[in-house]
Amino acid sequence: MERHDDEVASALRAAIEALPEVVSCHLVSGEADFLLEAVLPDLAGYEHFLTGTLLKLPGVRDIRSNFAIQRVKSGAPLPLHHLKE
């Protein structure tokens, strides 16, 4: 994010929530502020989404992208049985 004030953060969160391509968004610690998972049909679709949408969101300063090559495991239940005590 460019600035970490409440108004910019609220505007960014609202904008992200409105994007159908974004299937999940997490506030994270470390070098980045947010981690988004987006689903696009192909690399050209992602390029259009990146340049036409993400880079224009309020407060966005920098974007770093990673791409899933292959799904190894997904949708496994969380091991929360230890919390029942």
pLDDT tens for 26-69 read 999 988 889 999 999 999 999 999 999 999 999 998 999 998 89
- Quote the pTM value: 0.78
Determine the Cα–Cα distance for residues 9 and 53; give it in Å rounded to an integer.
17
Determine the Cα–Cα distance for residues 28 and 83; give it in Å rounded to an integer.
23
For the residues 5-19, what does the mean pLDDT come to?
91
Closest to 11 measured CA to CA, from 47, 55, 59:
59
User: 35 and 28 in contact (C-beta within 8 Å)?
Assistant: yes
pLDDT (0 to 100) of residue 45: 96
pLDDT (0 to 100) of residue 74: 87
Residue 24's pLDDT band (boundaries 50, 70, 90)? very high
Closest to 61 measured CA to CA, from 6, 7, 8:
8
